[in-house]
Amino acid sequence: MHKKILIISQEFPPFGGGAGVVAQQNAIELAKLDHQVTLVTRNWGPKLEQLNINHLQCTGPKKLWFLFLYWEIKKLYLEDFDSIILNDIGASFIWGTFFLNSQFSKNITVYLHGYEHDAISNKPKGFIKHTKFAVRYKQLLLKSKNIISVSQYLKNSFLEGIPFKIDRERINVIYAGIDPEVFHPVNTDLKQQLSITDDKTILISVSRIVKEKGLFKMLDMFRKLLQIDSSFVWIVIGTGKDISEFKEQVSRNHLKDNVLIIGKIEREHLKDYYSIADLFWLLSEKESFGLTYLEAQMCGCPALGPNKFGIKESIQNNISGYLVDDDTNTKKILSAKTYLKLNINIDSLKHKYEIKNQIKILKEII
């Protein structure tokens, strides 16, 4: 049965993180199945000009985003929608603040991406703290038709952290899937464009440039690695609030020839970088899942990450990459270069993580 589906998301590409990517993917893939999709987001992303997606982008001052998002939703005839997906904590905030007691809450699906602990913790932050949203968020979760977590790790940690009871079976795990038409190995002359010679070992990281992603610790580790083996080049793709400090440390340590900071690029161009890299690495302090680790592997590039969080669900240790327990383990793997011998089974990854398989699960429950 074809449905009318409303997706509300504060985040949306090209800005924001994995939550926005999920909103975009879900909108596109559900529309491909001939569902009538309406997508309401902040005024960041480009309009979707495909299929039957009605993309409404809010305009207005950034600090008042919630009011403009509310007004855009208010214009809609909500009775028309068979299912309403609250894609991130911002969307849940809007619904919990303005629509919680409406009759439409029975059609709500709430996504968990990892930021939700603030809404139910004893020390909430930001707008959640100042608006006392925690009580309404609890009510929203209990009233909702479905709750979706982007990893098993997040589901478990969420259930352990909330100060009230939710039936485990109500939370479905649906991974942020990978589109094999976007992420796959390609032949490219990018190494020549970047003036990287064939004798170099290429490491890559794709991330927001913020300290909690582990990039500063990685930079110190990389500096010491070069003292042992000067053949390494590290490509860093992304931007963020700490990028100026990161660039300054690269310059101060005389690493400009070995650390290439690319900035933010469109997701569809990432496959070129992944395809020339020998290893994706990111020592993030916390990841609900680990989408970029999977993107790299789908392009034939092994991935290395901490042996914890949702990252454990995105890397098959010693098969598609490495799960490391400490810095000593990381340094050993980097210097030994055993990742050069890994042969990733991309078909196996597609079977488990391909976006169309994840959408089948979503379609059945909303």
2: confidence class by pLDDT, cuts 50, 70, 90: confident
Give the model confidence (pLDDT) of 29-79 as tens digits. 999 999 999 999 986 666 666 667 888 888 777 778 888 899 999 999 999
Position 364 pLDDT exceeds 60: yes
CA–CA separation, 12 and 24 (whole Å) = 7
As a whole number, mean pLDDT of residues 138-163 equals: 92
Query: Is the model more confident about 275 or about 10?
Result: 275
Which DSSP category does 200 fall into? P
Please say whether the beta carbons of 221 and 330 come within 8 A: yes
CA–CA separation, 347 and 353 (whole Å) = 10
Q: Are strands 36-41 and 4-9 parallel, antiparallel or unpaired?
A: parallel
Sheet holding 146-149, edge to edge: 54-57, 36-41, 4-9, 83-86, 108-112, 146-149, 171-173
pLDDT at residue number 344: 95
Question: pTM for the whole thing?
Answer: 0.90
| Number of helices followed by number of strands (H, E) in the chain | 15, 13
110, 138, 168, 287, 341 from 161: Cα distances, Å:
17, 13, 13, 16, 41
337: confidence class by pLDDT, cuts 50, 70, 90: very high
Nearest 10 degrees: Cα torsion 70, 92, 95, 123 = -100
Number of CB atoms found within 10 A of residue 230's CB: 11
84: confidence class by pLDDT, cuts 50, 70, 90: very high
Altogether, the residues listed in the chain come to a count of 366
CA–CA separation, 263 and 145 (whole Å) = 40
Helix (H), strand (E) at residue 222: helix 215-228
223: confidence class by pLDDT, cuts 50, 70, 90: very high
Number of CB atoms found within 10 A of residue 2's CB: 10
Mean pLDDT, rounded, of the chain:
91
pLDDT at residue number 229: 96
Please return the burial class of 304, using the count of CB atoms within 10 Å of its CB with bins 0-12, 13-18 and 19+: buried
Helix (H), strand (E) at residue 294: helix 291-298
Position 122 pLDDT exceeds 70: no
Helix (H), strand (E) at residue 126: helix 126-130
As a whole number, mean pLDDT of residues 229-251 equals: 96
117: confidence class by pLDDT, cuts 50, 70, 90: confident
Query: Is the model more confident about 17 or about 348?
Result: 348
As a whole number, mean pLDDT of residues 86-99 equals: 93
As a whole number, mean pLDDT of residues 240-260 equals: 96
Position 123 pLDDT exceeds 80: no
| Domains of the chain with bracketed CATH | 4-174 (3.40.50.2000), 190-351 (3.40.50.2000)
Of 43-47, 132-136, 167-171, 359-363, the poorest mean pLDDT is in 43-47
Of 13-17, 51-55, 122-126, 268-272, the poorest mean pLDDT is in 122-126
Cis geometry, peptide bond prior to residue 46 (ω within 30 degrees of 0): no
